[in-house]
């Protein structure tokens, strides 16, 4: 999701300093192009987490944190993220347009809206790009889009949709910018989810939706959503380490026991390995030598390691791991779904 650039002050006078002593996990050495967590004050890092369990339980999106996230500068086109993070839609807009019009396109879109979505997955074939059934038919002055999309995040409120459809003239997959409330566009929410509950996933129906010529994006590259499980694993490790340092049992912090240290070491080792695989994919992508096989191997392997890391975290938290307040249990559900159903699933890419 790209956030509105006009939000200026996202600070909250009620934010309290962090009560944790451990430093944030920093990967700036491996990824110098990334924005390290250490640049954000503790009150920003820890002040958002308490409300997450509440909104996860209600399956609602916390819109009040949008201006605060914008203030942190962690979203939007100028964010220092690598090509792997495909869910930053403005980066996709740039990657799918020619260099001559990229900056103008981003300025035109980003200046007028606050939220975006990517519409790729479909009811019959999921994220299999080779079988996209949504079509784009050329007409005078633009294109007519027809088809269905499913499991699309930000579905109920996004201002701009980047829809991937098959160009009936060339048989290639192109991206098309569709504006909210366009005639023929219908979006409905998927209810009763047990995972990613805050994300407003839903179905999209496109029936004779007109898209002008200037809103067609000519190219499509591989989707490399490998950073999501890496980031999830880092967050779980960070949460577990903090918990073990604060929780005292048998006269000592849980972090003092070697059996727990062993699990932490296993988690950290898996995170480092995932990070290096992601780094290698970035390098191949930048050189233009990455193949679909490279992308699939990275996605499948990293997703599986993430699930293992989160499972170890759940063991470390004991009974507290069953509570959404500690984040790990709901993340385990997310990783289980990713392993079997979503874009970066293990089975799909083997």
pLDDT per residue of the chain (350 residues) written in tens, 0 to 9:
333 333 334 444 454 444 344 455 555 555 555 555 566 565 555 555 667 778 878 888 887 776 666 666 555 444 433 332 333 444 444 444 444 444 455 555 554 445 778 888 899 887 677 788 999 999 999 999 999 999 898 888 888 888 989 999 988 888 898 988 899 999 999 988 887 788 888 999 999 999 998 888 765 544 445 677 888 888 889 889 989 999 999 999 999 999 999 999 999 999 999 999 988 988 888 888 988 788 888 888 988 898 899 889 989 998 888 877 777 777 776 665 544 444 445 555 44
Q: CA 291, CA 82: separation in Å to the nearest integer?
A: 17
Q: Which of 40, 39, 37 is nearest to 24 (CA)?
A: 37
Q: Are strands 160-167 and 116-119 parallel, antiparallel or unpaired?
A: parallel
Coarse DSSP helix, strand, coil percentages of the chain, rounded to the nearest 5 percent: 45, 15, 40
- Are 309 and 272 in contact, with CB atoms under 8 Å apart? no
- Are 206 and 146 in contact, with CB atoms under 8 Å apart? yes
Assign domain 227-349 to a CATH class: mainly alpha
For tokens 């050495």, the residue is: 29
Give the containing element (helix H, strand E) for 271.
Answer: helix 258-287
* Predicted structure pTM score: 0.56
Q: Which of 25, 74, 33 is nearest to 239 (CA)?
A: 25
- Are 116 and 5 in contact, with CB atoms under 8 Å apart? no
Q: Which of 87, 40, 53, 48 is nearest to 64 (CA)?
A: 48
Give the containing element (helix H, strand E) for 187.
Answer: strand 185-189
Q: Which CATH superfamily is domain 115-217 in?
A: Butyryl-CoA Dehydrogenase, subunit A, domain 2 (2.40.110.10)
As given in the structure block, the two tokens for residue 1 are: 């999701």
Phi, psi of 328 (to 5 degrees): -65, -40
Q: Are strands 252-253 and 248-249 parallel, antiparallel or unpaired?
A: antiparallel
Domain ranges of the chain: 115-217, 227-349
What are the residues whose beta carbons fall under 8 Å from the beta carbon of 55, sequence distance 6 or more?
61, 62, 197, 198
Q: CA 130, CA 132: separation in Å to the nearest integer?
A: 6
């Amino acid at each position: 999701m790209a956030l509105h650039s006009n939000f200026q002050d996202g600070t909250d006078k009620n934010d309290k300093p962090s009560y944790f002593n451990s430093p944030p996990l920093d990967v700036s050495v491996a990824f110098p192009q990334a924005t390290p967590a250490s640049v954000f004050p503790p009150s920003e890092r820890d002040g958002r987490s308490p409300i997450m369990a509440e909104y996860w339980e209600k399956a609602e999106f916390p819109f009040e944190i949008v201006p605060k996230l914008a203030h942190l500068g962690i979203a939007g086109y100028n964010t220092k993220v690598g090509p792997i993070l495909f869910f930053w839609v403005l980066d996709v807009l740039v990657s799918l347009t020619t260099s001559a019009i990229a900056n103008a396109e981003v300025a035109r879109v980003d200046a007028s809206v606050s939220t975006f979505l990517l519409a790729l997955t479909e009811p019959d074939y999921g994220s299999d790009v080779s079988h996209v059934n949504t079509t784009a038919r050329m007409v005078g002055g633009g294109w007519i889009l027809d088809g269905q999309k499913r499991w699309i995040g930000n579905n109920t409120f996004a201002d701009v949709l980047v829809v991937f459809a098959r160009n009936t003239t060339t048989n290639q997959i192109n991206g098309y910018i569709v504006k909210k409330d366009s005639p023929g566009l219908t979006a409905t929410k998927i209810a009763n989810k047990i995972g990613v509950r805050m994300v407003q996933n839903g179905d999209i129906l496109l029936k004779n939706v007109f898209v002008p010529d200037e809103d067609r994006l000519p190219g499509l590259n591989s989707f490399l959503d490998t950073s999501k499980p890496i980031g999830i694993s880092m967050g779980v490790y960070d949460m577990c380490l903090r918990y073990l340092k604060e929780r005292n049992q048998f006269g000592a912090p849980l972090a003092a026991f070697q059996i727990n240290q062993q699990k932490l070491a296993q988690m950290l080792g898996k995170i480092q390995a995932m990070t290096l695989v992601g780094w290698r994919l970035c390098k191949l992508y930048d050189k233009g030598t990455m193949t679909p096989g490279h992308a699939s191997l990275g996605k499948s392997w990293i997703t599986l390691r993430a699930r293992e890391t989160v499972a170890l975290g759940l063991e470390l938290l004991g009974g507290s791991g069953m509570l959404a307040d500690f984040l790990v249990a709901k993340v385990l559900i997310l990783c289980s779904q990713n392993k079997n159903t979503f874009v970066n699933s293990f089975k799909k890419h083997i």
